[in-house]
Every structure is written in C-alpha cells, then in structure tokens.
Amino acid sequence: MQSSSIIRRWICGSLLITVLVILAAEVMFLYTDYRELYGSVQRAAESRFSTIAGRLQATGTAGDANETSESRGQALRRTVEQFDEKDKFEFMLLDAQGVILATSSGTMTRDLTSGTDFLLAQTSAGGKGHDIFTTPQGERVMAVTELVPYAAGNVAAMRLVTSLTLVDRQWWNMCTAAAGLGALVLVFTIWSGLFFVRSIVRPLGEIEATATKIAKGDLQVRLPDNRYNDEVGRLCTTINQMAEDLAETERLKNEFISSVSHELRTPLTSIKGWVETIGNIDDPADKNYQRGLSVIGTETDRLYTMVEELAPDGYLVAESITFKVMQMNDNLVVFIWQDGGWQKSTEGYLAMYDERTDTPVPLMKTFPQTGSIL
C-alpha cells in the first residue's frame, strides 16, 4: 500500500512534469525544423527570382519604354524556355489576372494553378507570396510568386512551383527520429525514476514490517542498519535502539513484577492463614485469636508500606489509617482508629480516596462470615 502510494505520487508529480517537458521540447524542435525545411525551399525560389530580376534590369534600357517593356517580356520568355532546373522547379509566367502565359515544361496544365500565392503577392508590400497546396494527383507542392519589378509586356509575375515530396519525407523522418528519441528519454526517465523510488520504498517496506512486529510484541526483531549509509540507515539504527530499549524495559518490568509478587505473597499468605485460623476460634480471648489479629495488623501495615513505596509520586495519595478486625456475633467487623479512638466501620469496607477526583477507591469489601479478605 505504501509502495503503490509513493509510486503513484511520483507518477503524478515528477513523471508527469518530465513528460510535459519532453513534449514541449519536441514541439519546439519540430516547429523550428519545419520552418527551416520549408523556409529553405521558399528562400531558394526567391534567390532565383533575384537573379532573374538582376538580369531583367539590364535588358532593353537603350530603347523607349514600350520597347524596353517588350524586350523584358521576351527576355523572361527566353529565360523560361532555357530554364535549367526543370528537375527541381516548374517556372511560370503569369499575367495580371494570374493566367499562365508560359511554363518551363511547355505544358499549360491547370493542376498547378491552385493556391493563393499570386493573390498574396498582389496584396503584400514586397510583392511576394507563397502557398503550399495539394494537386489533384495528391502531390503536395509549394508555389512561390513574385511580381515582376519592371514593366515586361503582359507578364505581371514570375512563379516557381516545386514538389515537396522529398521535403515531406525528410520532415517525417525528423518527426520519427524525434518521437523515438523522446520515447527513449521517457523510458530512461521511467526506469531511473522507478529504480530511485524503489530504492527508497523497499527499505521503507522493511521498516514498516519490522515496526509492525515490534508493535505486536516481538522485541527481538532487528533491521539491517549497516546496509544503508544514509537517512534510511540512521532510521534503522534508531528503530533498532528503540527495540533494544523496549526489550530492556520489558525485562526490568518482568523482574519487577516477579520481585513484587514474591514480596506480596509472603504477607498475604500469612494473613490468609491467620484469617482462616481466627475463623475457627469462637473465643475472642483465645491466645491464638489475639496473636492472629496482631499478625494480620502487622502484615497489613507491611503491605501498605510496600504499596506506598510502589505508587508513583503524585499519582495516588492516601492517608495513613490504622484498623483492626474483630469478630462480633459470628461476623468479622472492621474498626478504624479515628479521632483518638476505635470507630466501627458503618459501611462495612475500607476505602482510599483519590484527591484528584474525590472518589473512593475500594480497598476491602464487606467481610463474609468465613473471614476471608477480598
């Protein structure tokens, strides 16, 4: 029960925090990697636009504006026809409505016209836009569009479209590696945590079992206090010392009880014998009758003295009393020495009073005709 409780608290505490930290770290890592991977594709397309725009700036500057515009348009078409990275990009020229004017592949397919990159380029301050979408064939592609910075006939924008198959594969490989690494870290955390928790729970279980045995009276059981050189070891040493002290106390108590029993048995035996003797004597003036009463009184005083010595200080305070037992009308009657004379006990019993509660503590009950003292 204790073991499961500690492990449960560890799972709800440290392990849960560890899982959340691992998840947060993986999310941050994958988000950064995602932006880097797909951002590199976008930056590659934009760098090619910059190169083309630099060449376009020097085209047709000697003629008038219309000739220059047409010359730039023709130069862009030649660039599309001579584009040498057809295995990586599809190069397109778009008019002001986003209609495809020319492509590097020579096909005017509409499969690549989806996406909002052209609209984003028209509305952005830098004249650039990009979008990721899926073609009707199920292929994920990225389209990057940049408005032509100079008049180039009816050409309004340049567009590069590239497949994301390899990038997606690299991204998923990165996700798989991150998930595997996170699982490995989590497994190691669980294993090391359980090892640490059990290294504490196991000795605590031994301590609990030993303490239970001690509580049930087995004072000979001990804990191995030399196995742990830490707080657990010191706790084991303390419990062992406690068990030794309890065993010593139990031994002294038994010796005390044995000694007291022996000391009490002698006067009680004497009193019992004389009471039986007196009970068989009808004449109070008999010598043995008077001797028996004297012995009973002496032994009673002795018992009282012993009880006084055994009683803890301040626990029970009793006044010293002197009493004698006499036979009257075939009955034993108790007389108490009080106010300078013998007074017959009207209640038929002797009692001590507890001063804390002012209640009587019975010492002797009514004496029956047999003369035995209860």
| Burial label, 27 (beta-carbon count in 10 A; 0-12, 13-18, 19+) | exposed
> Mean pLDDT lowest for which of 135-139, 293-297, 306-310?
306-310
* Pairing mode, strands 359-364 and 350-354: antiparallel
Out of 157, 175, 193, pick the residue that ends a domain: 175
Task: Please indicate whether residue 42 or residue 53 has the higher confidence score (pLDDT).
Answer: 42
Out of 175, 202, 220, pick the residue that ends a domain: 175
**pLDDT level of residue 176 (50, 70, 90 thresholds):** very high
Q: What is the CATH number of the domain that holds 17?
A: 3.30.450.20
Residue 43 lies in a domain: yes
Q: Does 122 score more than 70 pLDDT?
A: yes
Handedness of CA 326, 329, 331, 337 (dihedral sign): negative
* Pairing mode, strands 90-94 and 100-103: antiparallel
Residue 188 lies in a domain: no
State pLDDT tens for residues 71-92. 888 888 888 888 888 888 989 8
Predicted TM-score of the model (pTM): 0.52
> Is the domain of 24 the same as that of 121?
yes
CA atoms within 13 A on the CB side of 193: 20
> Is the domain of 168 the same as that of 257?
no
Q: Does 145 score more than 90 pLDDT?
A: yes
Backbone phi, then psi, for 161, in 5-degree steps? Answer: -120, 130
In this prediction, residue 169 carries a pLDDT of 92
Q: Does 302 score more than 70 pLDDT?
A: yes
> Is the domain of 129 the same as that of 19?
yes
Out of 175, 198, 228, pick the residue that ends a domain: 175
What the block records as the tokens of 28 is 């941050």
> Is the domain of 157 the same as that of 17?
yes
Residue 203 lies in a domain: no
* Pairing mode, strands 359-364 and 128-134: unpaired
**pLDDT level of residue 311 (50, 70, 90 thresholds):** low
**pLDDT level of residue 57 (50, 70, 90 thresholds):** confident
Residue 227 lies in a domain: no
Whole-angstrom Cα distance, residue 111 to residue 100?
A: 11
Rounded average pLDDT over 101-106: 85
**pLDDT level of residue 160 (50, 70, 90 thresholds):** very high
State pLDDT tens for residues 274-289. 777 777 777 777 777 7
Domain count, the chain: 2
Range of the domain at 154: 2-175
Residue 281 lies in a domain: yes
In this prediction, residue 315 carries a pLDDT of 44
Residue 214 lies in a domain: no
User: What 3 state SS string does the chain have?
Assistant: CHHHHHHHHHHHHHHHHHHHHHHHHHHHHHHHHHHHHHHHHHHHHHHHHHHHHHHHHCCCCCCCHHHHHHHHHHHHHHHHHCCCCCCCCEEEEECCCCCEEEECCCCCCCCCCCCCHHHHHHHCCCCEEEEEEECCCCCEEEEEEEEEEEEECCEEEEEEEEECHHHHHHHHHHHHHHHHHHHHHHHHHHHHHHHHHHHHHHHHHHHHHHHHHHHCCCCCCCCCCCCCCCHHHHHHHHHHHHHHHHHHHHHHHHHHHHHHHHHHHHHHHHHHHHHHHHHCCCCCCCHHHHHHHHHHHHHHHHHHHHHHHHCCCCCCCCCCCCEEEEEECCEEEEEEEECCEEEECCCCCEEEEECCCCEEEEEECCCCCCCCCC
CA distances from 310 to 263, 303, 314, 357, 361 (A): 12, 11, 12, 21, 17
Q: Does 172 score more than 70 pLDDT?
A: yes
> Mean pLDDT lowest for which of 15-19, 107-111, 146-150?
107-111
The average confidence (pLDDT) of the chain is 78
**pLDDT level of residue 221 (50, 70, 90 thresholds):** confident
Contact 26, 67 (CB under 8 A): no
Task: Collect all residues with Cβ–Cβ distance below 8 Å to 55 and sequence separation of at least 6.
Answer: 75, 79
Q: What is the CATH number of the domain that holds 314?
A: 1.10.287.130
Contact 335, 326 (CB under 8 A): yes
Q: Does 208 score more than 50 pLDDT?
A: yes
Residue 232 lies in a domain: no
State pLDDT tens for residues 229-255. 777 788 888 888 888 888 888 888 888
Task: Please indicate whether residue 353 or residue 263 has the higher confidence score (pLDDT).
Answer: 263
In this prediction, residue 330 carries a pLDDT of 63
Residue 318 lies in a domain: yes
Task: Please indicate whether residue 108 or residue 372 has the higher confidence score (pLDDT).
Answer: 108
| 323-328 sheet: strands from edge to edge | 323-328, 331-338, 341-344
